[in-house]
Structure 1
Amino acid sequence: MTTSEAQSNYAGVFGNRIGFGQRPALLLIDFVQAYFDRDCVLYADVEDALASAIRVRDAARSAGIPVIYTNVVYHPSLLDGGRFMQKTPLLKVFVEGSPMGAWPKGLEPSADEFVISKQYPSAFFGTSLAATLTAMGVDSVILTGLSTSGCVRATCVDTSSHGFIPIVVADACGDRHQAPHEANLFDMNAKYADVVSEAEVLEHLAGLKG
């Protein structure tokens, strides 16, 4: 099925637009060195997504909204990886202390920004993220990150399930291959989130200043 055929098939059934919320937070999902080091088995050509995410992050800082990062960290035993580790043993590159879990240049969190460490795809699963967002009075989450078909999608679904509006920034998400990237953006936009461009989210954030 082509993209145009899929759009025609979904029309009138899926794809309703929610719109931006009033009190957003920005979530930067798993932008870590493993995806940018060409010698790492998890390397992906996602530098453009990182550059976009940094621009969105800078705009979020200027707008004064919460900025939260996620990474993946495993105990040296790897037992906390459970079935996810069993299915994808290459995740061992994220063992605690590995340089592959470091932040890429330009994305380092500031002292007042939160980092949520996780062991599974969704940033909500087994973490304090939902409670933290609720305590902050957040009603919507702007999602950026890696990979689109994995941790971004899982977090997007859980964002909606926890009652927050998911806004996915297409330009600031990346994947190992364009096909799953595009397919998951299409499906998230159809069923769970509003998928927007970097330009759209920058315009929205600029309107929040002051």
Structure 2
Amino acid sequence: MSDSLDANYAKAYGGKAGFGTSPALLMIDFVEAYFDPDCDLFADVDDALQSALRVREAAHKVGIPVILTNVVYQDGGLDGGRFFEKVRPLRNFLRGNPMGDWPRGLTPTENELVISKQYPSAFFSTSLASTLTAMGVDNVILTGLTTSGCVRASCVDSMSHGFITTVVRDACGDRHSEPHEANLFDMQAKYADVVSEEEIIAHLNVL
């Protein structure tokens, strides 16, 4: 293949989703497990959290909805199905485990919605899609952890539910740069526009 990767994909996947007129910010699974070096889910993603917090501040300034997700399982993980069976570190999200708490610097406000989930996508078996539709939202802005897991799954479902989807590169993180970059590349190609923190804040500031 003589073409560069970018040039090759641009032939088929060079389209832009653009921004909607009524966005909501989704902050996916920013929980302590990814920030505690002693946890097997640790991912060294503080930069992503700080970026997401700045995007959140911009969202609050213009009054758009902010929704946070976490992962919570009942005792024994009975509601986690095959996902809980497959991924052993999900035991950190059994109800009451401190690894499922919000990390330092992130506390949901009374005006923010928290959605607890059991599977990768923020949309699967939750009220998120119907809640966003009821709010009149047409554009879902994604931040969160991890890029190759719950962010990607939520991105695909967001697009599949009919929302214009935007992924904020700086505000997503993963345990390794290669799956992070590969999944950002693929989301940009097929499901969403991947933008910088600077770009999304500039967009929010002119709403």
Q: Where on the TM-score scale, by shorter chain, does this alignment land: which range?
A: over 0.9
Pairing 1:53–2:36 present: no
Q: Secondary structure at the match of 1:11?
A: helix
Q: What is the TM-score when the length of structure 1 is the normalising length?
A: 0.96
Q: What is the TM-score when the length of structure 2 is the normalising length?
A: 0.98
In the alignment, structure 1 segments of 5+ residues that lack a partner are none
Separation in 2, partners of 1:6, 1:85? 36
Pairing 1:175–2:162 present: no
Note the aligned Cα RMSD (angstroms). 1.3
Within a 5 Å distance, the mapping from 1:22-171 to structure 2 comes to: 22-171=21-170
> Number of matched residues?
207
Shift of 1:105: 1.5
Separation in 2, partners of 1:150, 1:5? 27
**What's the % identity of the aligned pairs?**
68
Shift of 1:5: 2.3
Residues 77-108 of structure 1 deviation map (CA, whole Å, 9 limit, x = unaligned): 21111111111011000001111111112211
Pairing 1:206–2:200 present: no
Moved over 6 A (4+): none
Shift of 1:49: 0.2
Q: Secondary structure at the match of 1:49?
A: helix
Separation in 2, partners of 1:29, 1:75? 20
Separation in 2, partners of 1:192, 1:42? 26
Q: Which residue of 1 aligns with 2:13?
A: 14
